[in-house]
């Protein structure tokens, strides 16, 4: 009985029924758990990433039949299958109807044929027609696709980045062509961040480790743009994202770190907790313009309380 009374008064309120007490304490713990599971961050320290794996390539088809096919030079820089282009068309419809494309400031793409075909097909302009002076994102029939040229009008800029390539080495399907060849295929994609015309990163006898993929993936998120589409590969996306979500519920971790299907899109928010890539806020407003007296009542109460204690 004494213990029961102590508990009732020690926590700051009195209840008539012990069951009500424990129910209230349980609800309180639930509220604390809910608060602990949520995070509040300044908007200018967050980026929205729309992550896409390329559509089906010929290497996917052959590799599914026989994994040894990934070692074949017949699949060098494999392009999209007809089914892959259908996947591109369907994802394009989705990003248009869901308004995903409206906020995208930049499209980052791995400099391989299948990823660039996917990127321009999903996020590019409409079909390129005579009379348009701007260079096309993709010329017609690239990769013997039979697809018309794609306009660079009314769409975000595209930039090719080596950091989001698939595992480097051994598999010829992951070896790129020269940048000179790609510029002829994709005139409006910016290749200025790629230093070497030839592919000096891919080695025929050394396959990049998962840890190396993670390390270069972390460098990719430091750009200044706040809403970015990234078109990449299964291995890169899986391993680059594996370092995130360890402080989340297992269900959320699995949403982040499961392998992507061909032409799958997932949108995530990345938060800069370490001042690595944040810019000054553009939506915040300092207030007090013009300046005036504005002491809040809660701070006034604290000051009065402090004065009272001092006395």
Strand partners, 136: none
The whole-number pLDDT of residue 145 equals 94
What's the order of all strands across the beta sheet hosting 106-109? 158-160, 106-109, 227-232, 46-53, 265-271
CB 155 within 8 A of CB 124: yes
Would you kindly state where each structural domain of the chain is located, as residue ranges?
A: 49-267
* CATH label, 49-267, candidates 3.30.450, 3.90.930, 3.40.50, 1.10.10: 3.40.50
pTM: 0.81
- pLDDT tens, per residue, the chain with 311 residues: 333 333 332 333 344 555 555 566 555 544 545 445 677 888 888 889 999 999 999 999 999 999 999 999 999 999 999 999 999 999 999 999 998 989 999 999 999 999 999 999 999 998 777 677 889 999 999 999 999 999 999 999 999 999 999 999 999 999 999 999 999 999 999 999 999 999 999 999 999 999 999 888 888 777 889 999 999 999 999 998 888 888 788 888 888 889 999 999 999 998 877 666 556 777 778 787 788 887 788 877 777 776 654 44
Residues 97 and 146: their CA atoms lie apart, in Å, by 26
Distance CA 71, CA 63 (A): 9
The pLDDT assigned to 61 comes to 97
Judged by phi (left if over 0) then psi (alpha if -120 to 50, else beta), residue 265 lies in beta
What would the two tokens of residue 309 be? 């204690």
Active site residues: 54, 166
- With 0-12 / 13-18 / 19 or more C-beta atoms within 10 angstroms meaning exposed / middle / buried, residue 162 is middle
| Secondary structure letter of residue 138 according to DSSP | B
Residue 183 tokens read as 């510029």
CB 182 within 8 A of CB 191: yes
Contacts for 6 with CB less than 8 Å, ≥ 6 apart: none
- Helix, strand, coil percentages, rounded to 5, for the chain: 45, 10, 45
Strand partners, 257: none
230: enclosing H helix or E strand: strand 227-232
Confirm if 64 and 243 have CB atoms less than 8 A apart. Answer: no
């Amino acid at each position: 009985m004494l213990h029961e009374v102590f508990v009732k008064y020690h926590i700051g309120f009195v209840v008539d029924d012990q069951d009500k007490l424990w129910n209230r304490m349980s609800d309180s713990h639930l509220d604390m758990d809910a608060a602990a599971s949520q995070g509040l961050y300044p908007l200018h320290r967050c980026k929205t990433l729309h992550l896409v794996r390329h559509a089906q390539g010929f290497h996917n088809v052959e590799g599914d039949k026989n994994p040894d096919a990934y070692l074949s030079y017949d699949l060098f820089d494999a392009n999209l299958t007809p089914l892959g282009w259908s996947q591109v068309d369907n994802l394009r419809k989705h990003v248009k109807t869901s308004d995903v494309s409206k906020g995208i400031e930049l499209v980052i793409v791995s400099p391989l044929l299948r990823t660039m075909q996917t990127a321009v097909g999903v996020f590019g302009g409409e079909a390129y027609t005579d009379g348009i002076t701007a260079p096309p994102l993709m010329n017609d029939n690239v990769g013997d696709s039979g697809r018309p040229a794609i306009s660079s009008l009314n769409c975000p800029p595209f930039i090719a980045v080596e950091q989001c390539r698939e595992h480097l080495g051994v598999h010829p399907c992951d070896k790129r062509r020269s940048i000179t060849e790609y510029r002829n295929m994709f005139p409006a994609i910016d290749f200025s961040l790629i230093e070497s015309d030839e592919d000096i990163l891919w080695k025929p006898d050394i396959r990049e480790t998962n840890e190396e993929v993670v390390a270069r993936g972390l460098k990719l998120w430091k750009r200044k743009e706040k809403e970015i589409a990234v078109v990449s590969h299964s291995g890169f996306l899986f391993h680059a994202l594996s370092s995130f979500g360890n402080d989340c519920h297992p269900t959320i971790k699995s949403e982040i770190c499961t392998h992507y299907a061909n032409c799958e899109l997932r949108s995530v928010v990345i938060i800069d907790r370490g001042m690595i890539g944040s810019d000054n806020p553009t939506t915040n407003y300092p207030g007090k313009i013009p300046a005036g007296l504005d002491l809040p009542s809660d701070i006034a109460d604290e000051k009065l309380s402090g004065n009272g204690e001092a006395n």
